[in-house]
């Protein structure tokens, strides 16, 4: 039986949803270079998937392309953006403005993808009141107010793990419906709230696993081609078994 991917509420499998941002990134690059249409093979190569998978993914959106012409790049950018909810502006609060929170706040790429960092919140007396990426760092006591007043939908947790659940609970009770968790722990959220965890060390471990498998299969391949290529002398004979003296054998 093949592997099934869980469909989302609107019938698009989760695995497809996770590839849509990759297609969107490739398509945005093409649109910026003025490319009007793209074949499924070209787009698949840019996205690093095979073209059958790409066609299947896009068919879930009702986008089939035109035989001999391919996909209309601008149309597909609009279509995928709408599907991902990127045509509306999402307001984000970053809680924890240390090394990671600071880097996220300073990252310019969110705005162009429909996400705006509305507020920064931290509990550290030395950080509160300073400005990061043009925004004041607010004290934790302001968390509920900024979520409500600025109609923040997404909370980014970039605090130490031991306080992450508490921060998450406060975000959720203030009205946040999506949580992006960078802290190395699992967060529980009530139904209706989605939490995604980003863990670079997990990704590195997955890379290491595949790297190790690849090295092992390269080694096996080398060995089998050495055997096939006659590394071992064809004329070599296997030494006959040595008769052990009776006392040693017994
Ligand atoms: N997912 C990843 O790949 C990844 C990568 C790097 C770091 N991290 C994790 O991200 C988190 C932050 O890492 P960092 O290097 O920025 O740490 P950091 O110590 O530089 O920053 C943590 C910040 O959180 C603040 N803070 C502490 N308790 C708080 C609370 N209750 N409410 C609000 N703010 C609070 C601190 O004042 C500090 O500014 C850690 O949990 C770390 O393990 C994850």
The interface pTM score, or ipTM, of the predicted complex is 0.98
Predicted pLDDT at 184: 95
150-208: per-residue pLDDT in tens?
Answer: 999 999 999 999 999 999 999 999 999 999 999 999 999 999 999 999 999 888 888 88
pLDDT attached to residue 230:
61
Q: Distance from the CA of 149 to the center of ligand 1, in angstroms?
A: 25
Are residues 80 and 60 in contact, defined by beta-carbon separation less than 8 angstroms?
no
pTM score over 0.95 = no
- The reported pLDDT for the residue numbered 4 is 42
CATH match for 90-200 among 3.40.50.800, 3.30.70.370, 3.40.50.720, 3.40.50.10420? 3.40.50.720
Ligand 1 and 185: CB distance under 6 A: no
pLDDT of residue 94: 98
Which residues sit opposite 38 in a β-bridge? 71
Q: Is 183 in the pocket of ligand 1 (CB under 6 A)?
A: yes
Nearest CA to ligand 1 atom 27: 159
Give the fold, CATH level 3, of 14-83: Arc Repressor Mutant, subunit A (1.10.10)
pLDDT by 10s per residue, the chain, length 250: 333 445 554 678 989 999 999 999 999 999 999 999 999 999 999 999 999 999 999 999 887 678 888 999 999 999 999 888 887 789 999 999 999 999 999 998 888 778 899 999 999 999 999 999 999 999 999 999 999 999 999 999 999 999 999 999 999 999 999 999 999 999 999 999 999 999 998 888 888 888 888 888 888 888 877 777 665 554 444 444 445 554 444 3
Residues in the annotated binding site:
96-101
Q: Which residues of 64-88 are buried (b: 16+ CB within 10 A; e: fewer)?
A: ebeeeebbbbeebbebbbebeebee
Q: What are phi and psi of 47, to 5 degrees?
A: -90, -10
State which ligand 1 atom lies nearest to the alpha carbon of 183.
41
The alpha carbon of 97 and the centre of ligand 1 are apart by a number of angstroms equal to 7
* Residue 98 CB–ligand 1 contact under 6 Å: yes
CB-ligand 1 contact for 159 (6 Å cutoff): yes
What is the distance in A from the centroid of ligand 1 to the CA of 100?
7
Cβ of 38 less than 6 Å from ligand 1: no
Which atom of ligand 1 is closest in space to residue 101's alpha carbon? 16
Query: Residue ranges per domain, the chain?
Result: 14-83, 90-200
Cα 96 to ligand 1 centre (Å): 5
Report the nearest atom of ligand 1 relative to the CA of 121: 33
- The answer to whether 104 and 156 are in contact (CB under 8 A) is yes
Residue tagged 């698949």 (tokens)? 44
């Amino acid at each position: 039986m093949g592997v099934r991917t869980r469909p989302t509420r609107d019938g698009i499998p989760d695995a497809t949803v996770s590839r849509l941002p990759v297609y969107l990134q490739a398509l945005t690059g093409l649109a910026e270079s003025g490319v009007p249409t793209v074949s499924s093979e070209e787009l698949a190569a840019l996205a690093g998937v095979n073209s059958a998978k790409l066609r299947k993914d896009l068919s879930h959106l009702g986008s089939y392309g035109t035989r001999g012409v391919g996909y209309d790049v601008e149309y597909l950018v609009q279509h995928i953006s709408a599907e991902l909810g990127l045509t509306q502006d999402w307001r984000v609060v970053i809680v924890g403005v240390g090394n990671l929170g600071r880097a996220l706040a300073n990252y310019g790429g969110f705005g162009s993808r429909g996400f705006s960092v509305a507020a920064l919140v931290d509990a550290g007396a030395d950080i509160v009141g300073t400005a990061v990426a043009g925004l004041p760092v607010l004290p934790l006591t302001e968390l509920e107010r900024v979520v409500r007043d600025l109609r923040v939908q997404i909370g980014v947790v970039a605090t130490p793990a031991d306080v992450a659940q508490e921060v998450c609970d406060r975000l959720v009770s203030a009205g946040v419906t999506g949580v992006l968790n960078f802290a190395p722990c699992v967060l529980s959220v009530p139904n209706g709230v989605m939490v995604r965890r980003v863990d670079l060390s997990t990704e590195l471990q997955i890379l290491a696993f595949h790297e190790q498998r690849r090295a092992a299969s390269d080694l096996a391949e080398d060995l089998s081609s050495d055997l096939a290529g006659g590394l071992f002398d064809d004329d070599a004979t296997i030494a006959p078994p040595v008769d052990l003296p009776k006392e040693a054998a017994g």
